[in-house]
Amino acid sequence: MVSVQGLPEKLDSLEPGSAVALKVDVDSYFEVITALTDKFPRNREMQVIYTTSTISSATIIHVLDAFDISRDNIQFVDAVSYMTMGASKQPEGVTFVESPTMLENISLKIEYLLKKYPADENTVIIDSIDSLSIHNDNRILSEFLHILISNLRSHDCFTFILSVSEQDSEEIDNMLAMVCDDFIEVRPENESGSTEVEM
């Protein structure tokens, strides 16, 4: 377990190609997003591909703008807005996937962005495994993660898979433990706790 405050330091110690499960409580959610999209890539030639199936890219963009976080190196794969009829126009830096059930298309859009915008380093964020599990059977979901992470690892990408503590599921935890190198529980700043769980 690491504190939100200690997360950037932990992220900096990761090797390229690492796949990390981040279990986050709702109160720390936006701070974790800030760490992944701003503090971690800062001062590096890094592209961030933010895949969202939880809340729309428009909402995340709004939050990043509110925190004054540059979006120059952030690309979004939005798998939720089409489904909610919220994708009437395609803003710059956003690629839509019709439905969170089209897992192959999520992989294809990530692959597309990696090719379209080559960068020295790449980070792929999957937000979140819980929302994907609402729409997909766990067997197909674990197959998706296994193939996606293997592919991203071959590109030396950092992969972060978010899960929300409040939606705790042993099956999801086991799935993440199987495909990820690290499993980090992020606790709010005012909570005490020990170090992260190494897989």
In the three-class reduction of DSSP (H, G, I as helix; E, B as strand; rest coil), residue 92 is classed as: coil
Q: Quote helix, strand, coil % in the chain, to nearest 5.
A: 40, 25, 35
Peptide bond into 18 cis (omega under 30): no
For 18, 164, 176, the CA distances from 169, given in Å and listed in that order, are: 23, 10, 11
In angstroms, the CA 157 to CA 40 distance is: 13
Contacting range for other proteins; rule: CB under 8 A; set: 10-18, 44-52, 86-94, 133-141: 133-141
The pair of three-digit structure tokens given for residue 141, joined into one six-digit string: 């979901």
- Beta carbon nearer to other proteins, 78 or 185: 78
Contact between 107 and other proteins per CB under 8 A: yes
Contact between 112 and other proteins per CB under 8 A: yes
Contact between 12 and other proteins per CB under 8 A: no
Contact between 115 and other proteins per CB under 8 A: yes
Q: Which member of 25, 27, 111, 121 binds other proteins (CB under 8 A)?
A: 111
Contact between 140 and other proteins per CB under 8 A: yes
**Residues at the contact surface with other proteins, assessed by CB under 8 A:** 98-99, 101-105, 107-109, 111-112, 115-116, 137, 139-140, 143-144, 147, 151
